[in-house]
Structure 1
């Protein structure tokens, strides 16, 4: 059942109508379908969103008209300006969790599509280099570092990798921490005076983290260790802080996740059994939170909610721009 927010302007649009021509901000679907379309080389990209989808946050990071967004089946929705949504998500934890789950699912769908379209090592490496460069140029240094790390770790001998090592070194120099952190898995309540930016948490690497959070909730996994197993009951979600994990279902490899990605969120937020097995491909550090702890963070520090949603929306915008670049490269070739 779709969660119904307590606030937000009511919005109804008939099929065929553009969504963001009449409204600049975020839209949460209660019923109906919205269709995203982007020209992307010889294979345009289509994505249909249904009830429970939080849409529009990515539009703030995209050039106007890059993604065509129209109503596929008549919709009923709640709508907010960006400032209005920022205010509201801190007051409604259930809605914040629903929005987070929606954006996480959208990100996973786009990541799978990009992986399918860049199956060759050269294409995948170039994809990561493009993401890293555009985020560095936009001033999103934490996000740029994530993509630089993936590029260096997965394609150390590729031509584009050697060209960005200096940039990565400079970012690391600027973000250097003050010594190693001791990781413990002992249970503890989150103190109310703990201050932490979830944007840094999701995308900034270990150097930007609050030491108290890491020592209380950090969990390390050696290569080959399972974070979760398909079919199990899930009571924790994991935010990857460092490393790489492989995802499989019924023995079939589905892909890999990296720093900044969420693992196991659907099992925890929706109460479902684990839908896949996730194994550390290398030494991996995570933040492990159960549903109660996750909600506690939102209650104590509502601004974290907005920062985390913004982080996901920036990733979505990056993916849409990559898909659009495919079309541009084909036209110019």
Structure 2
């Protein structure tokens, strides 16, 4: 396949007179000028990220959220109506959506009751014809890291690409799988600016992989998939990267406080261990009714009770200190109205 050659591929940078891309030479409607197409290869962001993460720029793909990278990886490797991917439910729902959109079958390897990979997962995957396996770690919606040894065994034996989705890795006390890219050529690590960086509204996801694989993703992506506004704000965030540990520490302190308070509520049955900025909580009372009661009080959480292994569970994002207090008070009030027998 020949990739589309955009005007900004044929001429990099700026010149005194730019008349090659049929842009509006008079500027933009509105207060900010975005009349010029953005860098289609996001070179400045990749240079800063490469320094921050200890990789080379040609190992980085930037997408319109991680969802774009998920979709492109499925399209790159799978023949519609013929191939399959593997997922480990309960997990992030976009893997299945991308497979369905591309007419790709799904092989499911359910996690154990403590939300770890089953002991036979490496053997099952070694015999599988799936082109990709998605491993979300820390996992969404459960919050826990998957065991390193299990992922290593899969990487050593699975014949397809192993995608480790680290959307919440900035909250975990474990090294990123980015540090193992040279060791495992079929490893792809996904991260995002939406969580710890607090830039969900920008829609900027990152995939780290071998230069050859990144080259294929760049060939099939839309030419200008990351807007100029997103690139500008991402560069500003990277320039302020030293603020990230402080925000992380505050959120983790909030998670610890929230967990301690929730354990004291009679309606709470179990709080699952979390390496992310949320807690999966199983309730002794009806979880959907509890979700509705919170919503009626202006507090929105995520109802996960229909997900495999998550019966009776709500996913609670760690909020500000004031929001955490409001959540606990509301749950205490709901519990007093629905006492546990």
Name which one, 1 or 2, has greater alpha-carbon Rg. 2
Q: TM range, normalised to the smaller chain? A: under 0.3
More contact order relative to length (CA 8 Å, sep ≥ 6): 1
TM-score, scaled to structure 1:
0.24
Name the structure with the higher helix share.
1
